[in-house]
């Protein structure tokens, strides 16, 4: 893919990669130098030109190699070579490496929390459907009206699977949901609801109507001025105190509302950055064409603005995904809470690190996919703007 | 600036008065509310093994969970009619005050302030705990009074931290606290020798010693308990009927142990000639009517949940991974403090 793009973009790409710490010792002019010296064995030449070309770089290279030498082998030993993969906790006590048997024993608690054991194929299937749908929605060939119909069907199927109560499935109230389904649903729904809300907030913040502008500024600044934990705490603990007797709002819904509003405020600021980055001439040209406000926004402003802000938006999405782990403060059983609970079993308590590594890998998998997808999306969106 | 401050003050006053209002609005409604909705909403710990935690199959179990199950058995004749609300430490009291839960069975220490200013009532203590010290056996210590100048590993923000400070001050000793937020890291710090002593509730120390040390005999728990931690289920103030049911559902379990009635033997105990047993199991009517439930309420509790001793051994005692001795939690006839008033 990167071979097809013009040279000026390649340099830009290279520049962004050079900021990564693992390549810190590579000087910026590296690419040009290698191209000019075809003599000798290529890797040696490359190393001479890039890693050992000055005394400082030589020292840095040696230092990096030393750090790698002291950290990587023990880590590989712990993670893989000396690890125990199955069996009892007694076997783990004698081993020097990681005890992955805790994952073998506890994985269903970690993934599905307190969902009834015999019925756990239901959240498994629901998560599978959900992730598959998310994957499909990312592929350009599927961007057509039928996709929204498919989404509606999948959401209904998920609801049926998770709640049950019909089609011979036993009813499972959502206070028993837990683990991965909670994390996935909270984050995806929060993102999906926050995104349109944030566009409205960003537009409202730029509005010429004082009431709307004041409201939007007030909302954004209030949400940004408060930690997410306190927003969640307000939504879950304080909010019910103000409700009349007998009226309760579902705990999951309250946390979702808190998370959505919080994410929307941050996203709105990212979107506003995009709105302000568009040259004034674009607005004026749209006005000159006689477009109405909504036509102008929909056809001229937003397509350009949103393209600019893909990186900060995805950044916010990733942050929202990880923020869902804070719902433990309001007693929801998300993936990380379930993982923590799995470590409270006295028999397995010494092996908490393994559980957190495992949970970390799951989070990383989702976040990394999001960030790779955003890079692809960025290239797609910028394809038509290259000159 | 001034107007903004006064607006804040008004908002604060409003929210405080709303809080007070909602507190009184719930009065007397819990018993009927629970009966009407058909289940007990039970506030539990997110996961404290032996007290309230989901097992590998996601099913809640524990000593605290058994209190909720006993109440459900007494009220509905079905111990499974319980819904669980996992609560963090910060959340537990507001959740009870706002009416989100009906019982708080979440290893909560009964204190005067909680009983009064926080608007709670407490059912009888279902586990007597106390804070102790664990040290390495190599130090050869015999008493916590020998800990002068020691570094002590302690969890922050709980009464635990305060108790240590009080203990050392009262005995004119000094100590260096090593404060670590997470339990696992706290234990690790102790086992790696960063501190001389680890302090926590004695039940926790026993569990840590049993599970996390390569050889439990390398560590000793010092005999002094420096605090009283009577862990008790809590309910909202203002509904005496509900408080009665929770209280006596627990006492029925203790009484059953005293009379030697277990979940297995309860069927045959129905024909027992002992008048106390007859009253307990509802063969002689009266108790059920007084509590506003079926006469066989205690039978259901014992049949489905077991007596207190069974619950103890299953969750924290010899039948569990914690293997904690009965200690203070034995029946009064065996030197402990578990004592049920007459059920008549």
pLDDT above 50 (res A102): yes
Nearest CA in chain A to B45: A331
Token pair in block for residue A39: 């003599």
Q: In sequence order, what are the residues at sequence separation of 6 or more whose Cβ sits closer than 8 angstroms to the Cβ of residue A214?
A: none
- The reply to whether B72 and B122 lie within a common domain is yes
- The reply to whether A77 and A110 lie within a common domain is no
In a domain, A223, yes or no: yes
* Domain carrying residue B223: 131-227
In a domain, A376, yes or no: yes
pLDDT confidence of residue A245: 61
pLDDT above 60 (res B27): no
- Structurally, how many domains does chain A consist of? 2
In a domain, B16, yes or no: no
In a domain, A92, yes or no: no
In a domain, B342, yes or no: no
Check CB contact of B189 with chain A, cutoff 8 Å.
Answer: no
Size of interface A-B (CB pairs under 8 A): 114
For the residues A137-152, what does the mean pLDDT come to?
A: 83
Check CB contact of A253 with chain B, cutoff 8 Å.
Answer: no
Is A238 close to B94, i.e. CB distance below 8 A? yes
In a domain, B1, yes or no: no
pLDDT confidence of residue B231: 92
Question: Tokens 């050392």 map to which residue?
Answer: B168
Token pair in block for residue A167: 């089609």
In terms of pLDDT, which residue wins out, B338 or B327? Answer: B338
In a domain, A365, yes or no: yes
Among A117, A176, A337, whose Cβ lies nearest the Cβ of B46?
A: A337
CA distance readout (Å), A227 to A45, A221, A234, A259, A323: 52, 12, 11, 11, 11
Check CB contact of A350 with chain B, cutoff 8 Å.
Answer: yes
Angular region, B215: left φ>0, alpha ψ -120 to 50, beta rest: beta
Mean pLDDT of chain A: 81
pLDDT confidence of residue B6: 44
Residue A186's CB is within 10 A of a number of other CB atoms, namely: 23
Check CB contact of A7 with chain B, cutoff 8 Å.
Answer: no
pLDDT above 90 (res B323): no
Tens of pLDDT along A184-211?
888 888 988 999 999 999 999 888 899 9
Check CB contact of A93 with chain B, cutoff 8 Å.
Answer: yes
- Structurally, how many domains does chain B consist of? 2
DSSP designation for B123? P
Among A93, A114, A346, whose Cβ lies nearest the Cβ of B214?
A: A93
Nearest CA in chain B to A114: B58
Check CB contact of B14 with chain A, cutoff 8 Å.
Answer: no
For the residues B289-317, what does the mean pLDDT come to?
A: 93
**Distance from the B31 Cα atom to the nearest Cα atom in chain A, whole angstroms:** 14
B121: nearest Cα among B59, B28, B200 = B28
* Domain carrying residue A296: 104-382
Of A17-21, A146-150, A190-194, B229-233, give the lowest mean pLDDT range: A17-21
In a domain, B55, yes or no: yes
Nearest CA in chain A to B19: A241
In a domain, B22, yes or no: no
Q: How crowded is the C-beta side of A356, counted as CA atoms within 13 Å?
A: 11
pLDDT above 70 (res B11): no
pLDDT confidence of residue B21: 40
pLDDT confidence of residue A293: 87
- The reply to whether A19 and A147 lie within a common domain is no
Tens of pLDDT along B79-114?
999 999 888 877 788 888 888 889 999 888 888 888
For the residues A172-193, what does the mean pLDDT come to?
A: 86
- The reply to whether B152 and B71 lie within a common domain is no
**Distance from the B88 Cα atom to the nearest Cα atom in chain A, whole angstroms:** 6
- The reply to whether A51 and A154 lie within a common domain is no
For the residues B253-268, what does the mean pLDDT come to?
A: 94
Among B26, B29, B47, whose Cβ lies nearest the Cβ of A344?
A: B47
- The reply to whether B142 and B192 lie within a common domain is yes
Check CB contact of A247 with chain B, cutoff 8 Å.
Answer: no
pLDDT confidence of residue A378: 84
Is B54 close to A329, i.e. CB distance below 8 A? no
| pLDDT-derived band at A36, boundaries 50, 70, 90 | low
Check CB contact of B87 with chain A, cutoff 8 Å.
Answer: yes
In a domain, A39, yes or no: yes
- The reply to whether A231 and A268 lie within a common domain is yes
Check CB contact of B321 with chain A, cutoff 8 Å.
Answer: yes
Q: Is A183 in contact with A325 (CB distance < 8 Å)?
A: yes
pLDDT confidence of residue B5: 42
Tens of pLDDT along A271-315?
999 888 888 888 889 889 888 888 888 888 888 888 888 888 888
Is B95 close to A108, i.e. CB distance below 8 A? no
pLDDT above 80 (res A39): no
Question: Tokens 């929204």 map to which residue?
Answer: A148
Check CB contact of B58 with chain A, cutoff 8 Å.
Answer: yes
In a domain, A90, yes or no: no
| pLDDT-derived band at A385, boundaries 50, 70, 90 | low
Specify the CATH number for the domain of residue A293: 1.10.3720.10
What is the Cα–Cα distance from A151 to A155, expressed in whole angstroms? 6
**Distance from the A328 Cα atom to the nearest Cα atom in chain B, whole angstroms:** 7
- The reply to whether B147 and B124 lie within a common domain is no
pLDDT confidence of residue B18: 43
pLDDT confidence of residue B261: 94
Tens of pLDDT along A329-372?
777 888 888 888 888 887 787 788 888 999 999 999 999 998 88
Is B47 close to A341, i.e. CB distance below 8 A? yes
CA distance readout (Å), B104 to B51, B108, B235, B239: 12, 8, 6, 15
pLDDT confidence of residue B197: 92
Cα-to-chain-centroid distance, residue B3? 47
pLDDT confidence of residue A51: 83
Nearest CA in chain B to A350: B212
Residue A205's CB is within 10 A of a number of other CB atoms, namely: 21
Among B18, B49, B83, whose Cβ lies nearest the Cβ of A175?
A: B83
With beta carbons under 8 A apart, name residues in chain A contacting B29.
245
Specify the CATH number for the domain of residue B283: 3.40.190.10
In terms of pLDDT, which residue wins out, A269 or B58? Answer: A269
Check CB contact of B100 with chain A, cutoff 8 Å.
Answer: yes
- The reply to whether A257 and A139 lie within a common domain is yes
Tens of pLDDT along A105-141?
888 888 888 888 888 888 888 888 888 888 888 787 7
Check CB contact of A109 with chain B, cutoff 8 Å.
Answer: yes
Of A34-38, A180-184, B3-7, give the lowest mean pLDDT range: B3-7
pLDDT above 70 (res B315): yes
Tens of pLDDT along B109-161?
888 888 888 888 999 999 998 898 999 988 888 888 888 889 999 987 677 88
Token pair in block for residue A75: 């880590």
Q: How crowded is the C-beta side of A91, counted as CA atoms within 13 Å?
A: 12
- The reply to whether A235 and A296 lie within a common domain is yes
pTM over the 0.90 mark: no
Among B18, B88, B212, whose Cβ lies nearest the Cβ of A328?
A: B88
DSSP designation for B153? E
Nearest CA in chain A to B89: A329
Among A106, A173, A333, whose Cβ lies nearest the Cβ of B83?
A: A173
- The reply to whether A242 and A354 lie within a common domain is yes
């Amino acid at each position: 893919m990167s071979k097809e793009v013009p040279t000026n973009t390649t340099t830009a790409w290279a520049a962004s990669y050079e900021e990564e710490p693992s390549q810190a010792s590579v000087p910026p002019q590296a690419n040009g130098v290698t191209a000019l010296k075809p003599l000798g064995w290529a890797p040696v030449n490359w190393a001479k030109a890039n890693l050992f070309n000055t005394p400082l770089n030589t020292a840095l290279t040696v230092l990096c190699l030393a750090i790698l030498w002291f950290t990587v082998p023990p880590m590989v030993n712990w993670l893989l070579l000396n690890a125990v993969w199955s069996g009892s906790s007694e076997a783990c006590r004698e081993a020097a490496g990681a005890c992955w048997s805790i994952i073998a024993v506890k994985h269903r608690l970690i993934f599905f929390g307190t969902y009834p054991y015999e019925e756990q194929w239901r959240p498994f299937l629901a998560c599978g459907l959900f992730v598959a749908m998310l994957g499909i929605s990312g592929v350009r060939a599927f961007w057509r009206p039928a996709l929204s119909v498919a989404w509606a069907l999948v959401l209904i199927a998920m609801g049926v699977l998770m709640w049950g109560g019909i089609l011979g499935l036993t009813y499972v109230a959502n206070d028993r949901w837990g683990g991965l389904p909670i994390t996935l649903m909270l984050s995806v729904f929060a993102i999906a609801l926050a995104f349109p809300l944030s566009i409205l907030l960003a537009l409202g913040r730029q509005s010429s109507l004082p009431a709307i502008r004041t409201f939007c500024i007030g909302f954004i600044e209030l949400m940004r001025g408060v930690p997410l934990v306190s927003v969640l705490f307000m939504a879950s603990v304080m909010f019910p105190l103000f409700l009349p007797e007998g009226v309760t709002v579902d705990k999951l819904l309250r946390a979702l509302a808190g998370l959505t509003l919080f994410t929307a405020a941050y996203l709105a600021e990212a979107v506003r950055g995009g709105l302000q980055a568009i040259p004034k001439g674009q607005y004026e040209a749209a006005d000159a064409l006689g477009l109405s406000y909504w036509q102008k926004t929909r056809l001229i402003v937003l397509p350009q603005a949103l393209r600019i802000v893909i990186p900060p938006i995805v950044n916010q999405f990733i942050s929202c995904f990880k923020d869902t782990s804070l719902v433990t403060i309001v007693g929801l059983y998300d993936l990380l809470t379930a993982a923590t609970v799995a470590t409270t079993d006295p028999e397995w308590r010494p092996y908490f690190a393994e559980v957190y590594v495992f949970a970390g890998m799951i989070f990383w998998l989702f976040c990394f996919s999001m960030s790779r997808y955003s890079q692809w999306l960025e290239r797609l969106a910028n394809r038509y703007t290259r000159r | 600036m001034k107007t903004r401050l006064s607006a804040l003050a008004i908002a604060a006053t409003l929210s405080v008065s709303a809080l007070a209002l909602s507190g009184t609005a719930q009065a007397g409604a819990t018993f009927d509310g629970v009966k009407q909705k058909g289940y007990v909403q039970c506030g539990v710990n997110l996961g404290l093994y032996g007290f309230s935690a989901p097992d590998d199959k996601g099913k809640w179990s524990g000593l605290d969970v058994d209190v909720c199950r006993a109440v459900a058995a007494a009220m509905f004749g079905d111990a499974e009619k319980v819904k669980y609300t996992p609560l963090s430490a910060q959340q537990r009291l507001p959740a009870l005050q706002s009416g989100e839960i009906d019982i708080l069975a979440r290893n909560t220490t009964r204190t005067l302030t909680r009983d009064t200013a926080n608007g709670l009532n407490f059912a009888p203590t279902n586990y007597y705990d106390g804070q102790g010290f664990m040290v390495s056996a190599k130090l050869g210590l015999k008493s916590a009074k020998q800990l002068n100048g020691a570094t002590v590993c302690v969890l922050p923000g709980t009464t635990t931290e305060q108790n240590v400070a009080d203990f050392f001050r009262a005995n004119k000793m000094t100590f260096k606290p090593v404060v670590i937020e997470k339990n696992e890291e706290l234990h690790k710090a102790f086992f790696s020798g960063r501190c001389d002593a680890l302090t926590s509730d004695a039940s926790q120390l026993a569990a840590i010693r049993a599970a996390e040390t390569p050889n439990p005999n390398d560590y000793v728990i010092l005999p002094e308990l420096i605090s009283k931690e009577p862990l008790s289920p809590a309910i909202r103030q203002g509904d005496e009927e509900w408080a009665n049911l929770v209280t006596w559902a627990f006492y029925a379990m203790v009484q059953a142990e005293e009379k030697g009635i277990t979940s297995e033997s309860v069927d045959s105990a129905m024909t027992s000639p002992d008048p106390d047993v007859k009253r307990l199991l509802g063969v002689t009517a009266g108790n059920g009517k007084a509590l506003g439930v079926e006469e066989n309420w205690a039978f259901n509790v014992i049949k489905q949940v077991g007596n207190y001793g069974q619950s103890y051994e299953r969750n924290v005692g010899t039948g569990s991974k914690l293997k904690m001795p009965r200690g203070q939690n034995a029946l009064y006839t065996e030197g402990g403090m578990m004592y049920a008033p007459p059920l008549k």
